[in-house]
Amino acid sequence: MHVLLIVDDKEEIQKQLKWGLSKEYKVFAADSVARALELFREHEPKVMTLDLGLPPDEDGSTEGFRCLEEVMRLAPWTKVIVLTGHEERENALKAIRMGAYDYYTKPVNLDELRIILNRAFHLAVIEEENRQLHSALSAEGKEMQGIFGHSPSMLEIFKTIRKVSSSDVPVLILGESGTGKEMVAAAIHGNSPRRSAPFIPINCSAIPETLLESELFGHEKGAFTGAYGRVQGKFESAQGGTLFLDEIGEMPLSLQVKVLRFIQEKVIQRVGGRENIEVDARIISATNTNIKEAIKDGKFREDLFYRIGVIIIELPPLRERGNDIIFLANLFLRRFGEMHNKRARRFSAAALRQLEAHSWPGNVRELENRVKRAVIMAETSIIEPADLDFAGQDRSAANNSEKPPSTLTLREARDRLDKEMILAALEQHQGNILKASELLGVSRPTLYDLMKKHGFQHS
C-alpha cells in the first residue's frame, strides 16, 4: 500500500483526509515542519499534501515553503500537492515553481482530491521504475546503443536485437518515421561479431535516382560525365561490416535487381565496370512505407522483399509505448539540461499531461526535439506546457481538418465547440485541470470525462 503524508495544522482536515483515504493509502499526518520532515525521512512517501500555513506562521507561508524546499532537496521526485485557499493562488504558483507537483483549492472535495492523488501516485511509480531501469541500463553499458524503453513491445525488440545480432541474416526494420530504425540497425551491428568493422548507413530516398547507383556501387573512371577517377561505393565501404539501406522502399526497381544479386552472390560491379567485386557485408534495411502495398503496386520486387526480410522487426509508434513517453522525456530532459548548461529539473504536472495526451506523429524524434526546445526556452527549472509549444501545432492541425460550419451536424458542432473551449481553458491556465474546470463551470471529474471523450488523453 502506498504511503501518503498529509501536512496540515488543522485537525479537522487531517481527520477528513485520513477517514476518506485510509482504505487506499497508508496515511500519516503532521502538523508542523519538524514532524513532517521526521515522518518524511522515516516513511519516504512518494506523494504528500502540504498546507503552506504551518505554525508558527499559520497566517503566512514561510513554514510551508521551508518544508517544501527541504522535501525537494531530500527527494526532488516527490509529488507534493499544495492545499491552498482561493486568495492564495500566487503562493500556490510559487510552490509549483519550487517543485510542487500540483495545487488544490480548498474546501477539499475528497472525490476530486482522490483523482489528483491517484494520478500523482501513478506518475511517481512510473518515474521510480524509470530511474531503476536507467540505472540498470547504465550498468549494462551501451548494449542497446542508446535505445531505451521498458514497455512490453520495446522489451521484445531488445530480445530480438540480441538474438539476431549473432547471425548474419538480413534484417528488415519497419516503423513510422522517427521511431528509431537506424538506431536499431546500429544496435544490431554494435552487438554483432562485425562491431569492429564499419557501419555504413545510406538513405535511399534522400539521393536522386541518377546518383544513387554510383553512391551504392561506386564507379570507374569515365563511367559518366564528371567521373574523373575510380570511386568506391557504400557496399565496398561496408566491407566486413554492415550496410544499412534506409528507406529501401523508395529504391528504384533497376537498383533493386542489383541489390538482389549482391544478396544472392555477394558480388557487385561498379558503374561503368565489368569486374565482379566480392564484398562481405551484412545487409540491414528499413522503410516506413507499406512494403506489401508497394509489391502489389509493382513498385517493389517480391523476391527482394523475401531476401531482405528474413527477420522482420516492427517498431511500435511512440503513442503505443505507454509509460515510455514520460521515461524518454525525462531522459532527454537530463541530457539536454547538461548539454546546454540549463537548470531545467522536471516537468510540471500540466506538461506531463500534455506529453501523455499528444499523439506524437513524429514519434521519438519529435519528442526529443520538443524537449530540447523546452530546455532552451524554459525560464525556470520547471518545464511548462508553453515551453513544449503544443498549442500552435494542435490549433493548426485542427484548423486544417475541420469541416466548414455549414456542413456540420448539430452533434458535430457541439463537439467542436467543446473541444475548442477545453483547449482554450487548458491553455489559459497552463494545463491546470482545476482552474480549467472552474473556468468552464464543470467539476474536475466532469472535465476529465470530457477530455477523454474528445481525445485529450489522461491516466
Q: Which residues pair with 26 in a beta bridge?
A: 3
Count of domains forming the chain? 3
The identity of residue 369, as a single letter, is N
pLDDT of residue 137: 54
Instruction: Examine the domain organization and report whether 170 and 220 are in the same domain.
Output: yes
- Find the DSSP H helices in 274-314: 291-296, 302-308
How confident is the model over 122-146, as a mean pLDDT?
64
What proportion of the chain, given as a percentage, has pLDDT over 70? 87
Using one digit for the tens of pLDDT, what is the confidence trace for 192-227? Answer: 999 999 999 999 988 888 889 999 998 888 777 777
Using one digit for the tens of pLDDT, what is the confidence trace for 311-354? Answer: 999 999 999 998 889 888 988 998 888 888 877 778 887 788 88
Instruction: Examine the domain organization and report whether 124 and 215 are in the same domain.
Output: no
Using one digit for the tens of pLDDT, what is the confidence trace for 245-295? Answer: 999 999 999 999 999 999 999 999 998 888 899 999 999 999 999 999 999
- Does residue 341 form part of some domain? yes
Q: What is the DSSP letter of 2?
A: -
- Does residue 126 form part of some domain? yes
Neighbouring residues of 226: CB distance < 8 A, sequence distance ≥ 6: none
Task: State which of 295, 315, 335 marks the end of a domain.
Answer: 315
Could you tell me the pTM of the whole model?
0.68
Instruction: Examine the domain organization and report whether 114 and 235 are in the same domain.
Output: no
Instruction: Examine the domain organization and report whether 218 and 298 are in the same domain.
Output: yes
- Does residue 458 form part of some domain? no
- Does residue 197 form part of some domain? yes
Range of the domain at 438: 321-453
- pLDDT band for position 397 (50/70/90)? very low
Q: Are 157 and 179 in contact (CB under 8 A)?
A: no
Q: How far apart are CA 376 and CA 204, in angstroms?
A: 33
- Does residue 85 form part of some domain? yes
Instruction: Examine the domain organization and report whether 256 and 376 are in the same domain.
Output: no
Instruction: Examine the domain organization and report whether 197 and 278 are in the same domain.
Output: yes
pLDDT of residue 143: 41
Instruction: Examine the domain organization and report whether 35 and 56 are in the same domain.
Output: yes
Q: How far apart are CA 236 and CA 230, in angstroms?
A: 12
Q: How far apart are CA 287 and CA 184, in angstroms?
A: 13
Instruction: Examine the domain organization and report whether 118 and 175 are in the same domain.
Output: no
Instruction: Examine the domain organization and report whether 69 and 123 are in the same domain.
Output: yes
Higher pLDDT, 245 or 102: 245
- Does residue 79 form part of some domain? yes
- CATH code where residue 207 lies: 3.40.50.300
pLDDT of residue 430: 67
- Does residue 141 form part of some domain? no
User: Treating both helix axes as pointing N-terminal to C-terminal, what angle do 410-428 and 390-401 enclose, rounded to 10 degrees?
Assistant: 170
Q: How far apart are CA 146 and CA 128, in angstroms?
A: 20
pLDDT of residue 390: 76
Q: What is the DSSP letter of 219?
A: B
Does the pLDDT of residue 394 top 50, yes or no? Answer: no
Instruction: Examine the domain organization and report whether 128 and 244 are in the same domain.
Output: no
Task: State which of 132, 166, 198 marks the end of a domain.
Answer: 132
Using one digit for the tens of pLDDT, what is the confidence trace for 24-40? Answer: 999 999 999 999 999 99
- Does residue 140 form part of some domain? no
Instruction: Examine the domain organization and report whether 76 and 199 are in the same domain.
Output: no
Q: Which residues pair with 102 in a beta bridge?
A: 81
- CATH code where residue 111 lies: 3.40.50.2300
Instruction: Examine the domain organization and report whether 158 and 219 are in the same domain.
Output: yes
Using one digit for the tens of pLDDT, what is the confidence trace for 60-98? Answer: 889 999 999 999 989 888 999 998 876 777 888 888 888
- CATH code where residue 365 lies: 1.10.8.60
Task: State which of 292, 315, 338 marks the end of a domain.
Answer: 315
